[in-house]
Amino acid sequence: MQIKPLIFTFLIFSTAFGFTQTKDTTESKFDQFKKRAYLMGGLGLNFGNVTYVNIAPVLGYRFTKQIHGGFGINYSHYSQNDIKFSTDVYGGNVFGRFFILENLFAHLELEKLYLKWSDGYRYNLENVYVGGGYNQQLSRNAFAGILILYNLNQSPYSPYSNPVIRGGIGFGF
């Protein structure tokens, strides 16, 4: 008679433990970050009388489907042989994007650049870009994009003239 209560108790506890032994399927914070992060940027090369080399990687993050943000670094070397001029430009930026439609977005960017101009002085430039762009999905983890920006803080020392047009390819992780 005492075996029946033991069997009943065993069945109750084994069922309860069976329900609690499900596999934990929650993602780690790093996996969640990788799903929302993307790498994009620019690479520019020109050789001849005018030599121009530009490297500008950018790390972006999808906070929501419509709101993206990120930061980047920028290095450019420019030289012109006929006037014996050469300079290096380096700096960084932070940006925000608001997607109006699936592929069309508004863009705001703050950029800080350091450069040596033809007068021999070093300048610190703070640029504020506003504009928009379009991204086209190429595959599950790749897209191509174009930006048209206007520098609200244009100066005679700015290395870019308005409008600033950028294009590139981005990759998700």
> To which H or E segment does residue 158 belong?
none
In a domain, 6, yes or no: no
Residue 74 included in any domain = yes
Determine the 3-state secondary structure of 16 from DSSP: helix
Which whole-number Å values give the CA distances from 113 to 23, 33, 34, 158, 159, in the listed order? 50, 29, 29, 9, 9
CA distance 60 to 18: 43
On whether residue 61 sits in a domain, the answer given is yes
Sign for the pseudo-dihedral over CA of 164, 51, 170, 108? negative
The answer as to whether 22 is a domain residue is no
In a domain, 154, yes or no: yes
- Average pLDDT of the chain to the nearest whole number: 82
Closest of 88, 114, 112, 109 to residue 164, by C-alpha: 109
Residue 16 pLDDT level (bands cut at 50, 70, 90): very low
In which band, very low, low, confident or very high, does the pLDDT at 3 lie, cut at 50, 70 and 90?
low
Cα separation, 96 vs 140, whole angstroms: 22
- 168 part of a folded domain: yes
In a domain, 136, yes or no: yes
Global pTM reads: 0.74
**156 is in which domain, residue-wise?**
29-172
Domain contains 65? yes
Which CATH number goes with the domain that contains 153?
2.40.160.20
Instruction: Indicate if the pLDDT at residue 145 is higher than 70.
Output: yes
Higher per-residue confidence, 75 vs 141? 75
Three-class secondary structure assignment of 49-106: CEEEEEEEEEEEEECCCCEEEEEEEEEEEEEEHHHCEEEEEEEEEEEEEEECCCCEEE
Domain count, the chain: 1
